[in-house]
A and B are shown apart, each in its own frame.
Chain A
């Protein structure tokens, strides 16, 4: 009888040890997830300044280009490269449609 109770106590102690180990591991994984490099914030891409820049890119691409590269610009370097490429394409297409329409 006493050996049975002892075994039960032992297994419940093992279980609680396992549980606390698992919890510890989960906490570590959570910290790892939190420490992982964050995705660029989507809302930053839609800030007022950015939206105004997008509008300038559509209606007056050269000024849009200036804003993309200006000192106050919040565009990251990959974005600057791509937007520059796109603005050049927009201007060329616009000129093409005016000259050869």
Chain B
């Protein structure tokens, strides 16, 4: 029975891991992460440190600190260059990642993908933020995948390459060999966009947003949707498969788009619209690591009588503070452990649920800054909430709840025989 279940999950994980488009999205978003962090921190510094607008809670509004306001253009510029260009970043990174998977490492790939993206969006007002920022993220993602797939197929088939004589330098010959595939892909996607608009009276980005992005976003950012994602990630971990790594290619684009919307409204001084977004995930799902194992550490230190658990917990504590919990997952172990897999799956569900409720009732603010995922609990919440103490307190609450969930299981394990090496 155990082996059969294990087989099912391994097959699922292998299928997802081997899916080149999901892999390209996953790797592309990992490479994009520092850009988002830089943009987020600049939003925070611009609004919480350098904002001189009257009535704003900002360091620059304290007596004698108004000079901080003169630094604001620096952070605004950095924020514009990162968060406002996110769709372009996604288009380039995802296309290059997919190209590498398909055996093509050309510079022409991101250029072609970008040209295709720009050819299908509305540029009547130039490259406005609706094209370059989060609003265009999903469209950029889909167009870059299609354009790269098409380009690589054409190049790999070799049918459209122009062969030059041997006397021509290799770099010149190479640019001629990719000339036709590039042109065909750009023309094809541009023509498709034109035909689509002519037939439906709707531009491709509008259709993608209406029929794909909005419904998907509605499902994944719904309380039930995020509970299902949290459950799936924990379930995969229980079988030794890195859940978030396996599934983030699916949920990350949606969470990131929701976050970018929050960030933009926060920067504009308005209320953020979305509860579930990228920082919500790092604040309430991955705090102290998947499974909220900070709760397990507390339960072990308070109630465990097992020396082996205590020794592992002591070793795992420094990593746990920075949300890394592999020492616990494989050390205790939690993987394939029938006793601990129950609280390991329950805790994130409780945490995400409580986080959602606390945000919905207004105790925890909607999150507007994407702090690095290794930021310790409380500080992570504090930063993600745009300098909100209650967001930090919310994190402490969910860790304590997780400790309560883990406690009966840790006590029950006190009576289990300690495995000895034969």
Are these two chains actual partners, yes or no? yes
Q: A39: which of B3, B18, B27 is its contact (CB, 8 Å)? A: B27
Distance between Cα atoms of A89 and B77 in the complex (Å): 8
CB-defined contacts of B77 to chain A, threshold 8 Å: 90-91, 93-94, 97
Q: Do residues B89 and A85 form an inter-chain contact, with CB atoms below 8 A?
A: yes
Q: A33: which of B13, B110, B373, B374 is its contact (CB, 8 Å)? A: B13
B11: min CB distance to chain A, Å: 6
Distance between Cα atoms of A87 and B39 in the complex (Å): 12
* A residues 44-101 in Cβ contact with B at 8 Å: 45-46, 50, 54, 57-59, 76-79, 81-83, 85-91, 93-94, 97-98, 101
CB-defined contacts of A98 to chain B, threshold 8 Å: 73
Per-position binary interface string of chain A over residues 13-27, scored 1 when its CB falls under 8 Å from any chain B CB and 0 otherwise = 000000100110110
Distance between Cα atoms of A81 and B28 in the complex (Å): 13
Distance between Cα atoms of A26 and B245 in the complex (Å): 20
Distance between Cα atoms of A30 and B240 in the complex (Å): 10
Per-position binary interface string of chain B over residues 78-107, scored 1 when its CB falls under 8 Å from any chain A CB and 0 otherwise = 101110110011001100110001000101
Q: Smallest CB-CB separation from B34: which chain A residue? A: A45
Residue B190 lies at the interface, judged by CB distance under 8 Å to chain A: no
CB-defined contacts of B31 to chain A, threshold 8 Å: 40, 45, 76, 78-79, 82
Residue A6 lies at the interface, judged by CB distance under 8 Å to chain B: no
Residue B161 lies at the interface, judged by CB distance under 8 Å to chain A: no
Distance between Cα atoms of A86 and B75 in the complex (Å): 13
Q: Do residues A43 and B80 form an inter-chain contact, with CB atoms below 8 A?
A: no
Q: Smallest CB-CB separation from B39: which chain A residue? A: A86
Q: Do residues B3 and A81 form an inter-chain contact, with CB atoms below 8 A?
A: no
Distance between Cα atoms of A97 and B71 in the complex (Å): 12
Q: B34: which of A30, A33, A54 is its contact (CB, 8 Å)? A: A54
B35: min CB distance to chain A, Å: 6
Q: Smallest CB-CB separation from A95: which chain B residue? A: B77
Q: Do residues B81 and A22 form an inter-chain contact, with CB atoms below 8 A?
A: no
B103: min CB distance to chain A, Å: 12
CB-defined contacts of B14 to chain A, threshold 8 Å: 29, 32-33, 36
B173: min CB distance to chain A, Å: 21
Distance between Cα atoms of A43 and B373 in the complex (Å): 10
Q: B26: which of A25, A39, A93 is its contact (CB, 8 Å)? A: A39
CB-defined contacts of B84 to chain A, threshold 8 Å: 89
A contact patch SS: helix
Known contacts A23-B3, A43-B374: A58-B93 contact under CB 8 Å: no
Q: Smallest CB-CB separation from A45: which chain B residue? A: B34
Distance between Cα atoms of A91 and B18 in the complex (Å): 40
* B residues 21-52 in Cβ contact with A at 8 Å: 23, 26-28, 30-35, 37-38, 42
CB-defined contacts of B123 to chain A, threshold 8 Å: none
A17: min CB distance to chain B, Å: 13
Q: B7: which of A22, A78, A83, A90 is its contact (CB, 8 Å)? A: A22
Per-position binary interface string of chain A over residues 31-42, scored 1 when its CB falls under 8 Å from any chain B CB and 0 otherwise = 011001101101
Q: Smallest CB-CB separation from B31: which chain A residue? A: A79
Distance between Cα atoms of A78 and B30 in the complex (Å): 12
Distance between Cα atoms of A23 and B4 in the complex (Å): 9
Residue B387 lies at the interface, judged by CB distance under 8 Å to chain A: no
Q: A86: which of B3, B7, B89, B110 is its contact (CB, 8 Å)? A: B89
Residue B241 lies at the interface, judged by CB distance under 8 Å to chain A: yes
Q: Do residues A58 and B74 form an inter-chain contact, with CB atoms below 8 A?
A: yes
Known contacts A78-B93, A82-B92: A50-B76 contact under CB 8 Å: no
Q: A78: which of B38, B110, B373, B374 is its contact (CB, 8 Å)? A: B110
Q: Smallest CB-CB separation from A86: which chain B residue? A: B81
Residue B386 lies at the interface, judged by CB distance under 8 Å to chain A: no
Residue B372 lies at the interface, judged by CB distance under 8 Å to chain A: yes
B residues apposed to A, CB below 8 Å: 3-4, 6-7, 10-11, 13-14, 17-18, 23, 26-28, 30-35, 37-38, 42, 73-78, 80-82, 84-85, 88-89, 92-93, 96-97, 101, 105, 107, 110, 240-241, 245, 372-374
A residues apposed to B, CB below 8 Å: 19, 22-23, 25-26, 29-30, 32-33, 36-37, 39-40, 42-43, 45-46, 50, 54, 57-59, 76-79, 81-83, 85-91, 93-94, 97-98, 101
Beyond the given A86-B81, A86-B89, could you list 8 further A-B residue pairs with CB under 8 A, ordered by the A residue number?
A: A26-B3, A30-B240, A39-B27, A78-B93, A81-B96, A89-B80, A91-B81, A94-B77
